[in-house]
A and B are shown apart, each in its own frame.
Chain A
Amino acid sequence: KAGVTQTPRYLIKTRGQQVTLSCSPISGHRSVSWYQQTPGQGLQFLFEYFSETQRNKGNFPGRFSGRQFSNSRSEMNVSTLELGDSALYLCASSWGGSSYEQYFGPGTRLTVT
């Protein structure tokens, strides 16, 4: 069974631009969570989607948004990029419902210059 895939793997953007990252969960998984990983803050929760609905959101500004499609694939968008948005963005999938076990993708390395 294929694992979680994320595209693109690497991205370089300029301050003020916007970016869209994509995540395809494990087949059959309906929940997708997004995390930001930086050396200074570690792994921090951004938001979670289940059956196309955002069920939970972390403490990030409104520039960070996401969505989920009917096939459970998810995208996250960051608008008006700032230097501090440089990070590894990870998505994780799980069955959803009452399942906690999450499986992570390889991440997208975003560099903002």
Chain B
Amino acid sequence: GESVGLHLPTLSVQEGDNSIINCAYSNSASDYFIWYKQESGKGPQFIIDIRSNMDKRQGQRVTVLLNKTVKHLSLQIAATQPGDSAVYFCAENLPYAGGTSYGKLTFGQGTILTVHP
């Protein structure tokens, strides 16, 4: 479904802690998932992506986990830093078939991450 943004979930952590941000996606047919970080006044910044044929993917200090059984995605950030404070969005895309999914990411509502020094 379409994203809603009235009340964003929040996560508050201490510097150095590990953070886990969760996302429930909407369409079981989605085959691509992506996490973005958006800082105030900026556009979303690509963090990491994963395809549906995988259940885990690691990047630098970040790990994405995909559970297709329950349509759940999570982003783990290791050793969280104050510079990680931002809004984090998950997004999904359907396979490119039939023309209704081209270039269309469907975004979750976002989670506000605050890291305290």
Contact = CB atoms under 8 A, between A and B. Distances in A.
Contact of A41 (B4, B36, B99, B100): B4
Given A42-B110, A43-B89, A90-B43, A102 B5 contact: no
Given A33-B103, A56-B102, A107 B2 contact: no
Q: Would you call the interface of chain A mostly helix, strand, loop, or mixed?
A: strand
Given A38-B5, A101-B49, A58 B104 contact: yes
A55 B6 contact: no
Interface residues of B, number: 31
Given A100-B93, A104-B45, A48 B102 contact: yes
Instruction: Name which of B2, B32, B43, B109 has the most chain A CB atoms within 10 A of its CB.
Output: B43
Interface centre among B32, B96, B109 (most CB of A within 10 A): B96
Nearest to A109: B41
Interface of A: 4, 31-33, 35, 38-45, 48-50, 55-56, 58, 90, 92, 94, 98, 100-107
Interface of B: 2-6, 32, 34, 36, 41-46, 49, 89, 91, 93, 96, 99-110
